[in-house]
Every structure is written in structure tokens, then in C-alpha cells.
Amino acid sequence: MAILDILHFPDPRLRQRAAEVDQVDDQLRQLVDDMFETMYQAPGIGLAATQVDVHKRVIVVDISKDQDEPRVFINPEILAGDGVEEMDEGCLSVPGVYERVQRAEHIRLRALNSAGEVFELEADGLLAVCVQHEIDHLDGKLFVDYLSQLKRQRIRKKLEKQRRLGIDDTAAAEKHAEPVI
Ligand code: K1U
Ligand code: ZN
């Protein structure tokens, strides 16, 4: 197992569209294990392969308090979505920033599991929001794209300042948090 480096906004590699996985093999399962280790250590409730500079359609999610409900989605597809949910979102690639975003409240999705089998799932609440946020990463989209250009610019400056000060993870960023108005 390994802790992988997480790319930070505005790194252009976060804008790359991830490719479909054509074979679920031991190498891919190793990537999934490393992504879980990286997500749990951050800590976060989701992680997309794009964020660790691997451009394959793989996401991991665990919204449980005890980090004991790991979920893997390979080639995830949203089949349907309805309702509107507004939630404060964070992102391991935008450390220390939380902003309100609107998404579908309820989704139905299809994906492959780590054995390469197709499954379908209905999700709502935090799970639905987190899965939509992660699928956006696979498409090169970040939650800051839903904000105004002015807010995005302020976030970019805040992250540049954090980098200059050597603050490069979520925990450290939260200690030095200043609001983005
Ligand atoms: O994709 C990511 O960068 C992970 C991100 C997922 C996410 C959070 C909130 C709404 C939508 C998607 C995070 O995990 S940010 C950190 C976070 O939310 C958290 C960390 C520890 C405990 C609980 C939450
Ligand atoms: Zn994110």
C-alpha cells in the first residue's frame, strides 16, 4: 500500500478527462487500495484517480464515521438524477475551502466493482453528492467551477499563498483558514 500525492487546484492535470477502464486486474486493485489509503489518511470521504494523477475512471468513497464502509466505482455512470440538494462541499485538491454547491438530490448509477462485475445503486444525501463530486473529477471538473469567477480567483490566490507558506494538506490548511468572501 502507498500514500499517493494529491494534485492541487489550479494544476492543469486536474482538467484531464479520465479514460474508461477496460480491464479490472490486480494492478487496478492495487491502485484502488492505494487510493483508499490516501483518502483515509487525508482524511476525506471520497477520492478520484484524477486527483492522484492517474487518468482512469476510478473513484473510491467512504462516508461512514468509522471509515469502515469502503465503496469502489469503476467506470461510474449516472443513469438518472432528480431533486436538488445544496450542501457545503470540500475537496482534497482545494484544501481548506468549503463552499455551497447544488447537485441532484437522488441519483441512480451503474459501475463496475473491484471484481469487474456490473452493479447499480440508488444514492441520496451525502453519498449522492460525493459520487457526483468524484465523477466531476473524472471529467476534469472541480466544485469551484460552480462558483463565480471572482470567488474562484480568490480561492486560487488563497491556495497560492498557502503553497508559499508551505501549507500543503487539508489539516494544515484548516488550521490557517481564512474565509474566502
Ligand atoms: O474529492 C475530494 O476531494 C474529496 C472530498 C469529497 C467531498 C466532500 C464533501 C462534499 C462532496 C465531496 C472530501 O472528502 S473533502 C473532506 C471532507 O469532506 C471530510 C473530511 C473528513 C471527515 C469528513 C469530511
Ligand atoms: Zn474533490
The predicted structure's pLDDT at residue 119: 98
Give the residues across from 108 on adjacent strands. 80, 122
Residues of the chain with pLDDT under 50: none
Tell me the ligand closest to 65's alpha carbon. Answer: 1
| The pLDDT of residue 159 | 93
pTM of the model as a whole: 0.94
Residue ranges around ligand 1 (CB below 6 Å): 43-48, 89-93, 129-130, 133-134
Q: What residues are labeled active site?
A: 134
The pLDDT value recorded for residue 149 is 96
pLDDT of residue 173: 72
- Report CA(34)–ligand 2 centroid distance (Å): 17
Other Cβ atoms within 10 Å of 150 Cβ, number: 10
pLDDT on residue 167 = 79
| pLDDT value of residue 152 | 96
| Rounded-to-integer distance, Cα 87 and Cα 166, Å | 29
Q: For residue 97, which ligand has an atom nearest its CA?
A: 1
